[in-house]
Structure 1
Amino acid sequence: MNLHRMLRAREAAGKPIRVGVIGAGKFGSMFLAASQRTPGMHIMGIADLALPRARAALARVGWPEASYAAPSLDAAHRGRATALTEDAMALIADPRIEVIVECTGHPAAGIAHAQAAIAHGKHVVMVNVEADVLAGPLLAEQARVAGVVYSMAYGDQPALVCEIVDTLRAEGFTVVAAGKGTKYLPAYHASTPATVWGHYGLTEEQARLGGMNPQMFNSFLDGTKSGIEMAAIANATGLQPPEDGLAFPPCGTQDLPRVFAGSTGRVEVISSLERDGRQVVNDLRWGVYAVFEGETDYIRRCFSEYGVATDPSGRYAALWRPYHFIGLELGLSVASAALRQEPTGCSEAWRGDVAATAKRDLRPGEVLDGEGGGMVWGKCIPAERSMALGALPIGLAHGVTLTRAVPAGSIVGYADVVLDEASPAVRARRAMEAAARPAKAAE
């Protein structure tokens, strides 16, 4: 509860946290909008492969043009301004930058940037949940050895769930389930970028005018993004993914304790739609939750006395947050990493994975189009099951060629595709899998 005080102290001392941001998309733009108003924080550089897009984003969020016109990082440092660059590795290498915020959303790029930042002694705030789920436990261990922080992004739902879970556990409660809400129907698993806007009630023209990326929005709809986020929470908290994927039960906030009564520690996403398409009463579409247990008569009596939402038995209670502010809240992760040397959520072990699952019958010779595409969606399953199946992670399911047919609904395996084993992302993933095998064998 002291981050603002600590930030003001850094400001007063003339030593703001110097930050490098990689990727000026939606999440990055929201952070940039908020950071302009945060004392003790200096966005020294922004790396993006499309500088006109980055300039347009900064103008859109209200940055004065002069503030991001520094011709170099040296000039940005001297003038408390911001330099734009296409060279993310140069930004990472600058010794004056303390924290790297990775916002690309590209798994391979995220892993490469995180490993480079860790090697240069930088703290890493990993907005890129795709990269975190593909190799987060490996990156977290590399950061620990290097003495830097590797952190989830506060404002994104996984970090907020981790906060609620940690708070409840620190208070002595047993958490039986945690997760988030979303809009879900079973048919959405087959959604493609060509069909996605109908599910959102938009026309293609409306989506185009809004600058909406159909593949990204389809990832949220088809269950992939939910699977990625739940796997990240599992890896950070020890809560377990369901054996055969998320169930997405329809559930309002008033029913959380009843729906999850008797659970023994799982991640789950609740749907804001009934299976017939009706809106759930008191839905949690934009929010996060945790269900916990009152393990004594006295605690359950306290629940009753203070109006805590419980199941009919009074034993299980729920805590939730109705919405999240996305990148507008990211500064808490930056401040926590730099000032407290503490992450706002971090993978501690590999427990959850997201397996590429066929949306339709797939044929040999086809090239997978990855997360949010028309061919596969990501199913959240236990890491142990993923290893046993040899499942292809969704983070590696882009641009790879199928060598044999995969029926609709089946998990795609490593054996079904041709992978570039020399690529950094594949090498990182293989290293994480190799490290997990002795641990599983020891259990």
Structure 2
Amino acid sequence: MNLFTKLQQRAAEGRPVRIGLIGAGKFGSMYLAQIPRTPGVHLVGIADLSPAAAQTNLARVGWEAQRTQAGSLDEALKTGATHVGEDWRALVRHPAIDVIVECTGNPIAAVDHCLEAFAQKKHVVNVTVEADAFCGPLLARKAADAGVVYSLAFGDQPALICDLVDWARTCGFPVVAAGRGHKWLPHFSESTPETVWGNYGLTPEQASRGGLNPKMFNSFLDGSKPSIESTAVSNATGLTVPSNGLLYPPASVEDIPFVTRPKSEGGVLERKGMVEVISSLEADGRKIPYDIRMGVWVTVEAETDYIKNCFEEYNAHTDPSGRYFTLYKRWHLIGLEVGVSVASVALRGEPTGVATGWNADVVATAKRDLAPGEMLDGEGGYTVWGKLLPAATSVAMGGLPLGLAHNVKVVRPVKKGQSLSWADVAIDTTTHAYRTRRAMEDLFAQPQRRAA
């Protein structure tokens, strides 16, 4: 509870936490908006494929022009300014940098950035959860071997869910379920960048004003991002996942403790201790009042009558039995909250969520019939969406992870709704991302095969 005090101390001592940011898009811009207001940190450099676009975003969020005029990283260190350039390797390899914030949203590139940061003994806050979803357990292992911290990004829902789960377990509560909210109807899995804004609830004008990427936002709408984020939560907390994909039970905040119970007790869960996503829409499309669409939640259980009575005495909203209680945070502020992760890894040496095992996976699944010769375009695109599955199921079927389904050629016919396997595509086997994923399978898959 004292991160801000520690940051103030670093500011007073003149030794701020030195940060390198890779990727200055929407998420990165939200973090940039907070840096001038945070003591004890110095953003030494930004690496972006388009430095001009990064400068535009800096101006958009209110940075003064003189703060980004450093001609080099060394000059930025001397003056307290920020260098903006294209060379991510120079940024990661600079000896003065303490923490790398990976914010590109490109899972293939993110793995390169993370591995190089570990090699250079840098902590990493990985905003690109798409990479964590397909090889996070091995990234975490490699970071630990290098003596640095690898972390999910606070402000993004997975880290906030991990925080709630940690709160519950630290208090002594068994976690029955945890997850996030989402606007969901089954046909959204077929959504494309052309249909996203109407279904998402924004006008094209609002999207343009915010500089929003339709493919990225479609990855939320079509279920890919909820699956990706649920995978990260499962692998970080040990909570299990549904056997055949997320169920998206509709519920208001008030109804979450009703639905997030085992089926045997009137809920939707296969068992206690699971990840799930709550829909903000009824099955017929009606909007649910007081929804959890933009928030996170955890449902815990009172194991004794005394604890159950405490719930009642303090007016905690529970299910009818009085045993299941849900704590929630109705909003998350995305990049505006990343500073918590940066401070935590740099000042405490603690991640705000990190994979501890391989429990879940996201498998690329066809949005329509796919023919040999077609190119997959990854999450949020026109060809595939991501289905959450137990890791054991993915291993048994040779599932193609969604994070590697970018610019990949289909070599066999795939029916709509069918999950793809390695054998269905011609994959580039030379990337660090592919090799890291395959190495993770070799390292972690034996217990998964037994589970299957």
Q: TM-score, normalised by structure 1?
A: 0.98
What's the CA shift for 1:85? 1.2
Pairing partner for 1:395 from 388, 395, 403: 403
Alpha-carbon distance in 2 for matches of 1:348, 1:39: 32
- Cα RMSD, aligned residues only: 1.2
Amino acid at match of 2:82: T
Q: Does 2:88 align with 1:88?
A: yes
1:150 aligns with 150
Q: Given that residues 239 and 275 in structure 2 are in contact (C-alpha distance below 8 angstroms), is that contact kept between their aligned partners in structure 1? A: yes
The structure 1 residue matched to 2:347, chosen from 324, 339, 343, is: 339
2:183 aligned with 1:175: no
Structure 1 residue 129 corresponds to structure 2 residue 116? no
Provide the rounded CA distance (Å) in 2 between the counterparts of 1:338 and 1:202. Answer: 37
Other-structure match for 2:113: 113
CA displacement, residues 317-367 of structure 1 (integer Å, 9 cap, x when unaligned): 110001011111100100000100000110111111100001111111111
Assess, with a 3 A threshold, how the Cα gap between structure 1 residues 210 and 171 changes in structure 2: closer, same or farther: closer
* Amino acid in structure 1 at the alignment position of 2:76: A
User: 1:198 deviation in Å?
Assistant: 2.3
Give the equivalent residue in structure 2 for 1:33.
33
Over 3 Å counting, the alpha-carbon distance change for 1:203 and 1:29 in structure 2 is: closer
Residue in structure 2 matched with residue 266 of structure 1 by the alignment: 274
Q: Which residue of 1 aligns with 2:268?
A: none
In 2, Cα distance between equivalents of 1:290 and 1:47: 36
Q: Who is 1:235 aligned against?
A: 235
**Which deviates more from structure 2 when the two are superposed, residues 199-208 or residues 122-131?**
199-208
Query: Once the two structures are aligned, what percentage of the paired residues are identical?
Result: 56
Q: Deviations over 1:246-281 (max 9, x none)?
A: 011101111111101234111111000101111112
Distance 1:285 1:421 in 2: 38
Deviation at 1:313, TM superposition (A): 0.4
* 2:197 matches 1:189: no
Partner residue in 1 for 2:431: 423
Instruction: Give structure 2 stretches of 5+ with no counterpart.
Output: 263-270
Q: Which amino acid aligns with 1:403?
A: V
Take 2:180 and 2:437, find their aligned partners in 1: how far apart are those partners? Answer: 26
Whole-angstrom CA distance in 2 between matches of 1:252 and 1:121 = 45
Shift of 1:436: 1.0
Separation in 2 of the partners of 1:211 and 1:340? Answer: 35
2:295 maps to what in 1? 287
Change beyond 3 A, Cα 1:2–1:210: closer
Match of 2:329 in 1: 321
Q: Which residue does the alignment assign to 2:24? A: 24
SS in 2 for 1:307: coil
Name the CA shift for 1:171/1:210 in 2 (closer, same or farther; >3 Å).
Answer: closer
Counterpart for residue 247 of structure 2: 247
Query: What secondary structure does 1:338 align onto?
Result: helix
In the TM superposition, 1:97-112 aligns within 5 A as: 97-112=97-112
Per the alignment, in what secondary structure is the counterpart of residue 233 of structure 1? Answer: helix
SS of residue paired to 2:168? helix
Q: List per-residue Cα deviations over 1:57-86 (Å, max 9, x = no partner).
A: 000111100001100001000011100110
Q: Contact conserved, 2:192 with 2:382, CA < 8 A, in 1?
A: yes
Could you say what secondary structure the match of 2:30 adopts?
A: helix
Letter in 2 for 1:67: R
Cα distance in 1 for residues equivalent to 2:442 and 2:321: 45
Offset at 1:442? 7.3
Aligned residue-pair number: 443
Aligned residue for 2:37, secondary structure, equals coil
CA distance in 2, matches of 1:264, 1:205: 43
CA contact under 8 A between 2:236 and 2:357: conserved in structure 1? yes
In the alignment, what sits opposite 1:410? 418
- 1:216 corresponds in structure 2 to 216
Correspondence 1:138 to 2:146? no
The residue aligned with 1:59 is: 59
Rounded to whole Å, the distance in 1 between the matches of 2:154 and 2:92 is 21
Instruction: Give the Cα separation in 1 of the matches to 2:207 and 2:38.
Output: 32
The CA deviation at 1:382 is 0.6
SS of equivalent residue, structure 1 residue 178: strand
Instruction: Give the corresponding residue for 1:381.
Output: 389
**Structure 1: how far apart are the matches of 2:98 and 2:203?**
43
Q: AA paired with 2:101? A: V
State the SS of the aligned residue for 1:113. Answer: helix
Paired residue secondary structure (1:408): coil
1:284-305 superposed Cα distances (whole Å, 9 cap, x missing partner): 0110000010000000000000
3-state SS in 2 of match to 1:36: helix
Letter in 1 for 2:170: A
